[in-house]
Structure 1
Amino acid sequence: MKEFLLKQGVSENLLDEVEKFTKFYDLDKNYEYRIPHLKYKYYGKETWEKAIAAILSGSHILLSGPKATGKNVLAENLAFLFKRPLWTISLNISSDPASLIGSDTFKNNEVVLKKGPVYEAGLAGGFAVFDEINMAKNEALSVVHSALDYRRVLDVSGYDRLNLHEATRFIATMNYGYIGTRDLNEALVSRFLVIDMPTITDSDLKKLILENTNLREDYVDLFVRLFLDLQEKSLNSEISSKAIDLRGMLAAIDLMEHGLSIKSSLELGIADKTFDSYEKEIVEDIIDTLFKSGIKSGDLFVG
């Protein structure tokens, strides 16, 4: 991982500090299985440096930005880099304090606390992701406020207080503009350092595709152009963000390597994710413009 980051130009001094962090904070072997196994790496020097510096300073971070900017991928990459166990908590409308901190359960003829993800992360010195924090109910946000407080103490009703492990960090993600989302209040935002996630550059996108597929390099540019064209139309409000799915595009490329046609693969991975007929037509027009009918899926790959 260090070599990958150095190639991107990430500060070697910061990476040396990460090594000191990982050596200083031991990890209980029972939690090692929670250190993520990376499928994708995050590309973006400045964002990496901001996130690493924030975590080293003891701060929690809020990753904010449109869809497909790599918020969850970065969170997983950070947990992997710092060798910390990771809990991902989806803050939907059903989230409540019990689902975050824990709830009573009956064990060995006595009532004990069944630990929730926030409690476990605080106990183990892990990283916890509050996914889509701007969709959370007030009851859940009360727990988030408490977890982020500078005193680093969680009061567990009916049980003892938990002093958060010094290595514990909370990473929130936020897609703005979605139905069901709302603005975060100033008191909550002030508990984070905020990183405005940039859209991926064409050069970084090309590197990502080359690393994760067997595409011939001369065809990679077509997929880069496809993704960036769709992203631009979404940012200009010509289409929604439903078809802006980088994982979907990579999955479609995998389908092509297994022999499915280009058109069918991109329908499954991208076009059919929008259910509006007008929007789907725009997406299909972009695909048809870039991928001429003479290209077969077998032509795209090395070997």
Structure 2
Amino acid sequence: MPDEYPTAAAPGPDPAPETERAPETEHDDAAADPAAVFSAFCEAALWPGLGRTTAARLPAAGITRPGNVDVGRLGTVEGVTGPRARRLADSFRAAAGTYAVVELLVAADLPARLARGATDRLGPTAAEALRADPWMLLTATDAEIGQADRFARRRGLHRDDPRRGPAVLTHLLGRAATRAGDTAGPVGAVLQAAAREGVADPRRALDAALDDGRIIAVGDRIALERYAMAEQSIADGIERLVATAEPLREGAPRVRRRPDDDSDEDSDEDSDEDAAEA
């Protein structure tokens, strides 16, 4: 049986101590090149209503960063009509939350596509949530553990951060559910996988995840809260269905109708009517 909790590619040791490298601060994301962020945002198809062909034509119209996005410039893009220019300007403003996440991701050299999952799960303030807890990248997107480690290092955090362990456990359970279809995993196997991913105290991390409700214990197995609740809802529905179903009476004949039964009855009725008229 394949391992449902395989070890990801080794993320490697943490960077050298702060005294041996330039310190990273929470303001490092401001160093991301605005043009690079804008390009990544467009290429990842995160701008609602903007296709790849039109995105490739934006630089020719002088649109290479957020400050260039307005109805006037958009209207000069080949193939963009006035009404569409207004729609694109509106949709760009509406995607401001996603754009803010892309700024953080590009600064950490991570794919901009992860921003979609972050805003879907965390809402329009996803960037603020990720600044406060970078490990949420693991629970809100399909990022790998090594990518989340890199993102956290960009925020000045390392693998010994106490929030990393619960996030890794959540990630492992979510990955097993989506890849293997197993919504609950044996406690021992999941804790061993977490240890392989560099979680120093997996049991303590599990206790923290159980306390905040993101993971639920079901006997000797653990599951993500959202999957456990979904399965319970299905089980409750089946129980109600069984409770309200009317059982067949013993010995009662089953009435089976052939597809042509109705047509036969109609023919008989027509014959009776014809005979009466005659």
For the aligned pair, the TM-score class normalised by the smaller chain equals under 0.3
User: In proportion to residue count, which structure has more helix?
Assistant: 2
Q: Structure 2-normalised TM-score?
A: 0.28
User: Which of the pair has the greater relative contact order for Cα pairs under 8 Å at 6+ separation?
Assistant: 1
Structure number, greater radius of gyration = 2
Q: Structure 1-normalised TM-score?
A: 0.26
